Chain A
């Protein structure tokens, strides 16, 4: 392995460290919501700084590596790393949003048992996990398989919106709680979008094909 290759390996490791923080943040935020655990929710919000710093570190490393004039796969790895870092940072932000809304929700009695939200979280996190696994293993088939799953999460988000809207119409005292849950649902829908972005970056990295904005069939 050349020195440059070992620097690229270190960059990948830093990105994976960032991913593991982002994944824990989302999992903990959902756990805080379901268990009505305010301490855990506050911890998620506080820990977001770590992810933000890692994004800055990844970007600084990428700029230093780009100055060395990398080519081909190495060039694509660095530009993809910058984009993936941004998506992971946003995943961290969404986790913070979920945690903050959980804190609000825990002030009032629970509106209904949480079924769809944990399910959405599981789906979105599985997408992110697969996209990152594809990144590590160079598995573009796995990355491509992530992309259509975004629609399932979108669907669940819309379904939850409709359900919460009917709650609000029927019983206006639930409006605050419903709006908080809608925000959480939207955050999970966005996490799935970020996972999809990562998957598209992985395809670009390993196949040098830009499959964004093509639609599922063309991809």
Chain B
């Protein structure tokens, strides 16, 4: 797969106080592909994901060293506007977290925040985002009802719609389907495969079959280290490292 690199990290280390949670991670993530991060709980995969939109800045006592480049720019440079960064790098969490507002306002809120005032423009983006998140047909007749009345799977797709409404380059997903039933999970997976035509997606998942179904590349993390990073097919059919083999075959983790 010959896509251009979009995210590049060089020797990234992250400390919670004196404890080193990420150990010298170098990775290059290509654009408009899906990259999955896998590994046992506590291996650092979510922590590493959160480096890409500086979500770890919100945690006290965290220190990050090394370089994290997006489109060649160091996102930890002093002059970086974190709000602008998070516009470029959207995020979807494990638990869907719609605002306690209408479906429409969940999407319009971010747009207004970023300066879009024109109602017809907002209407258009609300519709295209909901269509992009494969939710439009289910909610078009109740756009002004509360988002909290949607099912878990619908709420998660609303969060994806909210993320894509501001046209990020990258969407980070932290176990986006782990709280959903199998039907809602299939919908999210199908959606991810559609979204990669326009966005670069990095996803943390505990579900290895999910990684095989949706990702092009997979990175395996273990105790803060990136053990192996390769094409997903390679990782799951012929991993180079014994630790990866042991993890994907269920011998540990």
With A64-B237, A67-B236 known to touch, is A2 a contact of B212 (CB < 8 Å)? no
Interface residues of B in 199-248 (CB under 8 A from A): 209, 212-213, 233, 236-237
Judge whether B212 and A69 touch: CB under 8 Å: yes
Docked pose: A69 CA to B209 CA in angstroms: 6
Judged by a CB distance under 8 angstroms, whether A63 is at the interface is yes
With A67-B212, A69-B209, A69-B212 known to touch, is A3 a contact of B233 (CB < 8 Å)? no
Pick from B190, B212, B237: contact of A3, CB below 8 A.
B190
Pick from B186, B189, B193, B233: contact of A67, CB below 8 A.
B233
Docked pose: A69 CA to B213 CA in angstroms: 9
Q: Output the least CB separation between A63 and chain B (Å).
A: 5
Judged by a CB distance under 8 angstroms, whether A213 is at the interface is no
Docked pose: A199 CA to B213 CA in angstroms: 30
Interface residues of A in 1-34 (CB under 8 A from B): 2-4
Residues of A within 8 A of B193 (CB): 3
Judge whether A2 and B190 touch: CB under 8 Å: yes
The digit string for A87-129, where 1 denotes a CB below 8 A from any CB of B, is 0000000000000000000000000000000000000000000
Residues of A within 8 A of B213 (CB): 3-4, 68
Chain B contact residues: over half helix, strand or loop, or mixed? helix
Docked pose: A115 CA to B213 CA in angstroms: 53
| Tally of A interface residues using CB under 8 Å | 8
Residues of A within 8 A of B236 (CB): 67
Q: Which of B189, B193, B212, B213 has the most chain A CB atoms inside 10 A of its CB?
A: B213
Docked pose: A120 CA to B237 CA in angstroms: 42
Docked pose: A68 CA to B218 CA in angstroms: 13
Judge whether B190 and A67 touch: CB under 8 Å: no
Docked pose: A2 CA to B186 CA in angstroms: 9
Docked pose: A4 CA to B209 CA in angstroms: 12
Q: Which residue of B lies closest to A69 (CB)?
A: B209
With A2-B186, A2-B190, A3-B190 known to touch, is A63 a contact of B209 (CB < 8 Å)? no
Q: Output the least CB separation between B195 and chain A (Å).
A: 12
Docked pose: A3 CA to B193 CA in angstroms: 8
Q: Please give the residue numbers on chain B whose beta carbons come within 8 Å of chain A beta carbons, in ascending order.
A: 186, 189-190, 193, 209, 212-213, 233, 236-237
- A-B contacts, 20 listed (Cβ < 8 Å): A2-B186, A2-B190, A3-B189, A3-B190, A3-B193, A3-B213, A4-B213, A63-B233, A63-B237, A64-B233, A64-B237, A67-B212, A67-B233, A67-B236, A67-B237, A68-B209, A68-B212, A68-B213, A69-B209, A69-B212
